[in-house]
């Protein structure tokens, strides 16, 4: 896609097209493919979906989500009630290990506890993201599994080689140091980038994924 205005217009059109986003108070700024989303949305799932919508647009290299969640009056929940509801949602989700807990403060949920896999931590986030009254989710869940960096590098690279979204001739490389995985190279789309990052999080013991991938568009 050509000019900055073309990309901005396309992001605005995608936000308007997406039925999961109320874009009435969302303002888009684009500088050379770096897109910033400013304004407000009425729910946390819409906050997340706005980022996903912008990432679908050709030419977008980075998305900086500065949206604020301003809940309608009927969606506000007392922190004690929201804490109880969030912990019930975690307990009822079979993909979230025991010991993960949520605490609410002014509608902002903080998740704590320990898991072995990054995907389990993501599952906990998803379990509470759609609850009424949530304004934001802060994930302080720890990864308790101590992995061998050599094994992690092999497992992630092998997963990338199997992934249908990542080209066979891709130059994406994996480097594990301690519990941190760094991805480098070039990908064509956000979908390909997400596939690579998701593969890295699947390996046991990964506590951080550094995304140094360049999106070529």
Interval 14-37: pLDDT, tens = 999 999 999 999 999 999 889 999
Topology of the domain comprising 4-69: 3.30.1340
- CATH 3.30.1340.30-classified regions of the chain: 4-69, 149-215
Q: What percent of the chain is predicted at pLDDT more than 70?
A: 96
CATH number for the segment(s) 149-215? 3.30.1340.30
CATH number for the segment(s) 73-143? 3.30.1340
Average pLDDT for the chain = 90
E-assigned strand segments in the chain: 26-31, 34-41, 62-65, 68-69, 101-105, 108-112, 114-115, 136-139, 142-143, 173-177, 180-187, 208-215
Q: What percent of the chain is predicted at pLDDT more than 90?
A: 58
* Contact between residue 166 and residue 172 where contact means Cβ atoms under 8 Å apart: yes
Q: Which residue has the tokens 């302080």?
A: 140
* Contact between residue 46 and residue 22 where contact means Cβ atoms under 8 Å apart: yes
pTM of the model: 0.79
pLDDT at 4: 66
Confidence category of residue 1, pLDDT binned at 50, 70, 90: low
Residue 131 above 90 pLDDT?
yes
pLDDT at 3: 65
Confidence category of residue 168, pLDDT binned at 50, 70, 90: confident
Residue 146 above 90 pLDDT?
no
| Per-residue pLDDT tens digits for 62-100 | 899 999 999 999 999 999 999 999 999 999 999 999 999
Residue 200 above 90 pLDDT?
no
pLDDT at 68: 97
Q: How many CA atoms lie within 13 A of 123 on its CB side?
A: 19
* Contact between residue 169 and residue 143 where contact means Cβ atoms under 8 Å apart: no
132: helix, strand or coil: coil
Distance CA 56, CA 52 (A): 6
Q: What integer is the mean pLDDT of 199-216?
A: 84
């Amino acid at each position: 896609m050509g000019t900055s205005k073309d990309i901005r217009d396309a992001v605005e059109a995608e936000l308007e097209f997406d039925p999961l986003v109320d874009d009435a108070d969302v303002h888009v700024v684009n500088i050379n493919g770096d897109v910033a989303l400013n304004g407000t949305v009425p729910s946390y799932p819409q906050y997340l979906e706005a980022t996903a919508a912008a990432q679908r647009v050709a030419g977008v290299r980075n998305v900086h989500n500065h949206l604020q969640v301003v809940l309608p009056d009927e969606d506000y929940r007392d922190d004690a009630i929201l804490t109880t509801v969030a912990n019930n949602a975690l307990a009822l989700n079979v993909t979230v290990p025991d010991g993960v807990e949520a605490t609410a403060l002014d509608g902002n949920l903080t998740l704590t506890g320990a898991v072995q896999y990054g995907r389990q931590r993501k599952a906990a986030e998803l379990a509470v993201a759609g609850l009424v009254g949530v304004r934001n989710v802060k994930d302080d869940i720890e990864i308790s599994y101590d992995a061998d960096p050599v094994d992690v590098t092999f497992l992630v690279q092998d997963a990338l080689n199997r992934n249908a979204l990542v080209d066979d001739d891709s130059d994406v490389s994996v480097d594990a140091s301690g519990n941190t995985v760094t991805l480098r190279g070039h990908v064509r789309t956000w979908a390909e980038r997400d596939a690579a990052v998701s593969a890295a999080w699947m390996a046991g013991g990964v506590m951080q994924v550094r995304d140094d991938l360049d999106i070529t568009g």
